[in-house]
Amino acid sequence: MVKHVLVASVVVLLIGAAAYAAFYVAPTEATMGTIQRIFYLHVPSAWTGLTSFFICFVANLAYVLRREPRWDWLGVAAAEVGLTFTTVVLVTGPIWAHPVWGIWWTWDARLTSTFVLWLLYVAYLLLRSMLEDPDKRALLSALFGIFAFLDVPLVYGSIRWWRTQHPQPVILGGADSGLQPTMRWVLLFSWVAMLALMTLLLRQRYRLEAMRGEVEMVMREAEAV
């Protein structure tokens, strides 16, 4: 218990420090002004969401090959946590876009593929709720999770090559793209804080799912008797 409180406090401190850095340490962006500071919430959330979905994919693969319930628990935990972070991305994106681009939404590659990604994992969770038998639920949802993750680069590629007129990526975008050094440090620090939050949430959600799995097992045994 003490350990949990301690870990949670560290995460809260990290997130607080990241927020402080985003507001007071990072310089104000020249053209966009203060609104650009949402960047330090938006981009790390996106990266963290993707990290979480990747963990979900690994857990799905591991479940299909090993058939140990703990991989199923990790899978559902990672999908939910990833979905949470992706929701943050989809909400902060329009808030940032409206004053800067003059519109709430544009159908460009990253926005659209993030949205499709979000829909895919919502479908994953819905599918889980529609499968009664725990073993079947674990296996079939893991298989769908694998298909969904394989689809992600294809969704991104198809939209990027055929449907976009978007601002070039700022990071890894080309020769003259790049961030001012302080901004880069604040961004990376925010990402570390987000990853810490992700780990904490994953852990808690995993434990909850493990307990739920145990209850389910006991109930089944009781029914059998």
How many H-runs (helices) and E-runs (strands) does the chain carry?
6, 0
Asked if residue 8 binds another protein (CB under 8 A), the reply is no
Site size with another protein, rule: CB under 8 A? 28
**CB of 56: closest distance to another protein in angstroms?**
16
Which is closer to another protein, CB of 36 or CB of 141? 141
Query: Could you say which DSSP state residue 97 is in?
Result: H
Query: Could you say which DSSP state residue 25 is in?
Result: I
Asked if residue 162 binds another protein (CB under 8 A), the reply is yes
Q: Which of residues 166-225 bind another protein (CB under 8 A)?
A: none
Asked if residue 99 binds another protein (CB under 8 A), the reply is no
Asked if residue 120 binds another protein (CB under 8 A), the reply is yes
Asked if residue 108 binds another protein (CB under 8 A), the reply is no
Amino acid at position 89, single letter: V
| Residue 139 burial class via C-beta count within 10 angstroms: exposed 0-12, middle 13-18, buried 19 and up | middle
Asked if residue 111 binds another protein (CB under 8 A), the reply is no
Task: Please select the residue that binds another protein; options are 10, 91, 123, 219, rule is CB under 8 A.
Answer: 123
Task: Please select the residue that binds another protein; options are 50, 127, 179, 192, rule is CB under 8 A.
Answer: 127
- CA 172 from chain centre, in angstroms, equals 20
Task: Please select the residue that binds another protein; options are 139, 179, 195, 210, rule is CB under 8 A.
Answer: 139
Rounded to an integer, what distance in angstroms lies between the CA atom of residue 76 and that of residue 85?
A: 14
Asked if residue 158 binds another protein (CB under 8 A), the reply is yes
Residues 14, 161 contacting (CB under 8 angstroms): no
Long-range contacts of 61-67 (CB under 8 A, 24+ apart): 61/142, 61/146, 63/138, 63/139, 63/142, 64/139, 64/142, 64/143, 64/146, 67/139
Which is closer to another protein, CB of 12 or CB of 116? 116
**CB of 63: closest distance to another protein in angstroms?**
10
Buried b (16+ CB within 10 A) or exposed e, 75-95: bbbbbbbbbbbbebbbebbee
Which residues are at the interface with another protein (CB under 8 A)? Answer: 64, 116, 119-120, 123, 126-127, 130-132, 136, 139-140, 143-144, 146-148, 150-151, 154-155, 157-159, 161-163
